[in-house]
Amino acid sequence: QVQLQESGPGLVKPSQTLSLTCTVSGGSISSGSYYWSWIRQPAGEGLTWIGRIHTSGSTNYIPSLKSRVTISVDTSNNQFSLKLSSVTAADTATYYCAREDYHGSGNWFDPWGQGTLVTVSS
Amino acid sequence: DIQMTQSPSSLSASVGDRVTITCRASQSISRYLNWYQQKPGKAPNLLIYAASSLQSGVPSRFSGSGSGTDFTLTISSLQPEDFATYYCQQSDSTPRTFGQGTKVEIK
């Protein structure tokens, strides 16, 4: 059973770069044909999809963050990563990684990591 | 971007009640609609995919329906463990978008 686990600093200073890693266990990140996604949720608010990377290496990002976001994959360590530059307090949120599974009937996020809280503050 | 609008934003219900949550897309998304349950401090959990398919392990009291722009999540008999926030999400196109959530509270 595939499991995902986020890791990275819980506190980032304004204007710096937020860097998170999602480690995949119980299966190879390269096997099958999946998208690997990042989603965030400010405290008490809803879910926002940030972007994804395909096992082929292709990426998609939400337009509002596209200029600041990079998602990459490290197949040797079975991980994928998120970098968000020039952060502000508005980027404070719980960040989730998730696998996007897709079939002819659609795509869905399953499983999810447990989430990691990142606070942007000096 | 496709906007997803859920209603109501919150509801109060009793154990045993039938609960219905609706989700409307700003344009047709066929049946590319998923539902998630999120409990406080936890990651969302997939309940329903492709509008009406029940995820493995999810109790049969949960069901989904709809196509095009209008979708429904129904809990046939609300149980104590169902008090949570529910989100719809479209997978018709990127960027993926979620509804704002519906919080189901105890009456």
| Residue-level pLDDT, tens digit, chain A, 122 residues | 999 999 999 999 999 999 999 999 999 999 877 999 999 999 999 999 999 999 888 999 999 999 999 999 999 999 999 999 999 999 999 999 999 998 888 999 999 999 999 999 99
pLDDT of residue A83: 98
pLDDT of residue B28: 98
Reading phi first (left if > 0) and then psi (alpha if -120 to 50, else beta), residue B68 is in: left
**Could A49 and B43 be called an inter-chain contact, meaning their C-beta atoms sit closer than 8 Å?**
no
- Where are any strands of DSSP class E within chain A? 3-7, 11-12, 18-25, 35-41, 48-54, 59-61, 69-74, 79-84, 93-103, 106-112, 116-120
User: Which of A1, A6, A105 should we substitute to test contact with B (largest number of B Cβ atoms within 10 Å)?
Assistant: A105
Residue numbers in chain B where pLDDT is lower than 70: none
pLDDT of residue A104: 81
Q: Is B69 on the interface with A (CB under 8 A)?
A: no
In chain A, which residues have their Cβ closer than 8 Å to the Cβ of B49?
105-106, 108, 110
